[in-house]
Chain A
Amino acid sequence: MQIYGEHNFPGKLFIVEGIDGSGKSTQLSLLQQWLKREGYMVFFSEWNSSPLVKETTSRGKKKQMLTPATFSLIHATDLADRIERHIIPPLKAGAIVLADRYIYTAFARDTVRGVDAGWVRHLYRFAVKPTMAFYFRVPLEISLKRILGGRAGLKYYEAGMDLDLDDDIEQSFRLFQSRIKERYEGMVDEFGLTVIDATRPIEEQQDEVRALVERQLRDVPKLPIRIEDLEED
C-alpha cells in the first residue's frame, strides 16, 4: 500500500473543495468539458459513489444510525473503493482524473463532528495526493443564499442535525456550514490548497482554473500509456 504523497503516476488528479453552494461542482464540470475538447482522457469521480458502499451509507443516513466515527469510516471506505477502482487505474493510464470533493471534505466534516484531527488524517493516508486541490472560497451569506433559496429540503446529516446545534434545520445548517468553512480555511496552508475567489463571475473563475491546470499538463499524453513505456522508467 502506497501512502499519501508516495504515488507517482503519469496522469493528473485535480479536485475541488468548498462549502455547499460555493459553485465548485459547476467549475469542475466546465473544466471537464474543456479538457475533453482539448483531447485529453478525462475520468470523473464523484463523492459517495461507490456502488458497494453506497447502500450502507444511505441506510445509515436514512435510519440516522451513524455516529461521528462510523460516519467517518464509511466515507473513508467509499473513497478507498473509488481510489482503488476509479482513481489509481486511470492515473496509471495517463488520464486526468477529476474529483468533486476529496479527503479535505472528510477532514472538515469529521473534525466538526468531534473526530480527532490526527486520526482522520492518518485514516486517509491511502489517498493519492492531488496534483492540485482547488478551494472555492465564498462568504457564508452568499453560499447560504444559493443553497437555501433553491432547494426543496435539507437532509439530516447534511445540515449537521446529529450535532444538536439547533432544533431548526436551517439554523443548524448555517452553524454547521460556518464550522466547516473554518476548517477549510485552516487547511489552506496545511495542504497547500489553491484558493479561488468564488464570489467572482463564473467565467472569470473558470479562466483562472484552466490557466492553473494547463501549466500541469505539459507531460500529459492524449493517448493511453502503453505498459512497455511504464516499465522503461
Chain B
Amino acid sequence: MNNNSNDHQFEFYGEGLPDVDLSELIGRLIVIEGTDGVGRSTQVSMLKPWLESNGHAVLDTGMTRSELAGSGIKKAKEGHTLGPVALALYYATDFADRLENQMIPALRAGFIVLTDRYIYSLIARAIVRGADPDWIKSVYGLALKPDAIFYLRASVYDLIPRVLRQPSGFDYWESGMDQHLGDDRFDSFVEYQTRITGVFDSMIDQYGFEVLDASHSIDWIYKELQHRVGRMLREH
C-alpha cells in the first residue's frame, strides 16, 4: 500500500461528518458483511493476523463496540423495549461514535480498518422493521464509502446448522422475535433472516458489494478473501 500519489481518496456517501478532511485519510477500509451466523467474525479473526504478518497495521471493529452507546444498546435490547425507529438511531449513534473515534483516526494513521459489519446490516435491520428505506439510507450519509465490501451470502438453511452449533441456539434478536413473525424461534428465524437477506440482495448493485458464496467452507472463503484483499491492496 503506497500512498505517495493521490490515486486514492475517500468519499462520504452523503453529507458526511463535519470537520473531517478526507485527504488526510490514507488507510484502507474493508467491510465484511452478511447475515447472522454466516461466519463474518471468523473471517475477520483470520484476516487480521494475516494482514499484520504482511506488515499492515489493522484495526478491527464491529457493532455495539462504541464507548458511547455500546452498553446502552445492550441494555435496551435486554428489555426488548425500544421502538424500531429509536433502535435504528441508537445503532446509528454507536456507528457514528466508532466511525469518528476509532475508524477515522486509524485511517488517518494509515491503518487498514477491518470491520465486521458496517452500515448495510444496520440499514437492512431497520428496513425489515418498517423504516423508510430512503430515510435510513440518508441517515448513513455520514458514512465513508469503503474500499471493498465483501458480502458473505448464504441461504437461511445454510445458517441453521451454524446457529445450532452455538450453545445459545436461536437467539432472540437473530430470530427477529421482536417482529412477531412466527410461532416460535425457528419459524421466526427463517422468516426474519430471509427478509434480511432479501434487503441485502437488493443493496448489492447500489453499494457495489462483492458477493462470496458463504455455503463454501471457511477455508475456501478465507482463501478467496485473501486473494481479493491482496489484489485490492496492490491496486491502490
Interface residues of A (CB under 8 A from B): 1, 3, 50, 52-53, 55-56, 59-60, 65-70, 73-74, 76-78, 80-81, 83-85, 113-116, 118-119, 122-123, 125-126
**List of B residues within 8 angstroms of A74 by Cβ:** 68-69, 93
- Docked pose: A118 CA to B131 CA in angstroms: 19
Given contact pairs A65-B68, A69-B142, A115-B18, A1 touches B85 in the complex (Cβ within 8 A): yes
**Across-interface contacts of B72 in A (CB, < 8 A):** 52-53, 55-56
B residues neighboring A (CB under 8 Å): 14-19, 67-69, 71-72, 75-76, 79, 81-86, 88-90, 92-93, 96-97, 100-101, 130-132, 135, 138-139, 141-142
Q: Tell me the complex Cα distance, A125–B79, Å.
A: 26
**Nearest residue in B to A84 (C-beta to C-beta)?**
B83
> Are A76 and B18 also in contact (CB < 8 A) when A52-B75, A70-B68, A119-B142 are?
no
* Contact A80 B131, beta carbon cutoff 8 Å: no
Given A74-B93, A113-B18, are A53 and B135 neighbors across the interface (CB < 8 Å)?
A: no
Q: In the complex the two chains form, is B96's CB within 8 Å of A77's CB?
A: no
A76 and B96 in contact, given A119-B138, A126-B135 (Cβ under 8 angstroms): no
* The residue from A52, A113, A126 contacting B81, defined by CB atoms under 8 A apart: A52
Complex: how many Å from CA A8 to CA B117? 37
Give the nearest-CB partner of A4 in chain B.
Answer: B135
Q: Taking A55-B72, A60-B68 as contacts, is the C-beta distance between A1 and B135 under 8 angstroms?
A: yes
Partner of A52, one of B15, B82, B100, B130: B82
Is A77 in contact with B89, judged by CB distance below 8 angstroms? Answer: yes
Extra contacts, 17 of them, besides A55-B72, A73-B89 (Cβ < 8 A), are A52-B79, A53-B86, A65-B68, A67-B17, A67-B96, A70-B69, A73-B92, A73-B96, A80-B86, A81-B82, A83-B85, A116-B18, A119-B14, A119-B141, A119-B142, A123-B139, A125-B135
